[in-house]
Amino acid sequence: MQAVAGPGGIGVLDLQGGVQEHLDHLRRVGVSARPVKRTAELDGLVGLIIPGGESTCLSRLLTIFGLDVAIRQAYDHGLKLWGTCAGAILLARENIGETPFFGLIDIVVSRNAFGSQLDSFNREALAPAVAREPIPLTFIRAPKIVRTGEGVRVLLRLDDYIAAAEDDRILVTVFHPELTPSLAFHRYFARKCGLSVAGGDDAGLDPDWTPQSWMDFSYHV
Ligand code: GLN
């Protein structure tokens, strides 16, 4: 895929969790991408991904390194945010039974709503606003989005929960597109950040993508 000029790059919060896989996917869609460990590394970015991992751990590290305040300030100045899984929990306005962290998008999440780590799963679904073909989805001890407020669009509803949603400045997914061959959500976020990316509205399956051995949790079933 072709790289593209844009007003700035997209960062991936690099404190804990699935960082490298997001960076690799951003590069596959031709976006300049960098890890963000320190507040100064937010400078010049148009978007930031808060990856999946463990939301309590991430919240502590964000506070220790002053990144909570810096990200909020950058958001106030136009930085777009995408939270995957634990990242979505941190961005939610309400987290059932717990204190919200950033509280920036009007959604209610229920943490670990599918059960334990062993209840992780893969499936496929169509998110028409993102791609016209079904895309593979990987859920790892995911939360459920159980409600959305005004100004939040549902991008993917499955069974009794919402799996992807957005408002004008924030995207949230409870699954992990970076752990699948599909580039569709990374393209979608890059476009939301005002970057022009190559590729159409197909599922964006990268033929060169290979799963890591630890991504194969079929042996748990
Ligand atoms: N269960 C984790 C949490 O509550 C999220 C898991 C993930 O990010 N894949 O933070």
**Known catalytic residue at 193:** no
Residue type, 96: I
Q: Which helix (H) or strand (E) holds 63?
A: helix 55-64
Unique residue bearing structure tokens 């969790």: 17
pLDDT for position 4: 43
**Known catalytic residue at 176:** yes
Q: Give ligand 1 pocket residues (Cβ under 6 A).
A: 52-55, 85-86, 89, 111-112, 140-141
Per-residue tokens: 16: 């804990």
* Domain 9-216, classified CATH 3.40.50.880, yes or no: yes
Distances (CA, A) of 116 to 82, 113, 140, 141, 220: 24, 9, 9, 6, 12
The atom number, within ligand 1, closest to the CA of 87 reads 8
Half-sphere exposure of residue 86, counting CA atoms within 13 Å on the CB side? 20
Outline where 65-218 has alpha helix (H): 67-76, 86-91, 184-192
The one-character DSSP state at 12 is: E
In degrees to the nearest 10, what's the CA dihedral of 35, 187, 212, 36?
Answer: 10
The rounded distance, in Å, linking the Cα atoms of 155 and 105 is 14
Distance 95 CA to ligand 1 centre (A): 13
pLDDT tens track of the chain, all 221 residues? Answer: 444 434 589 999 999 999 999 999 999 999 999 999 999 999 999 999 999 999 999 999 999 999 999 999 999 999 999 999 999 999 999 999 999 999 999 999 999 999 998 989 999 999 999 999 999 999 999 999 999 999 999 999 999 999 999 999 999 999 999 999 999 999 999 999 999 897 878 888 988 888 775 665 544 43
Distance 104 CA to ligand 1 centre (A): 18
Nearest CA to ligand 1 atom 5: 86
Nearest CA to ligand 1 atom 8: 52
Of the residues 21, 178, 186, 193, only one is catalytic, namely: 178
**Known catalytic residue at 166:** no
Strands 161-166 and 47-50: unpaired
Of the residues 21, 25, 85, 186, only one is catalytic, namely: 85
pLDDT for position 168: 98
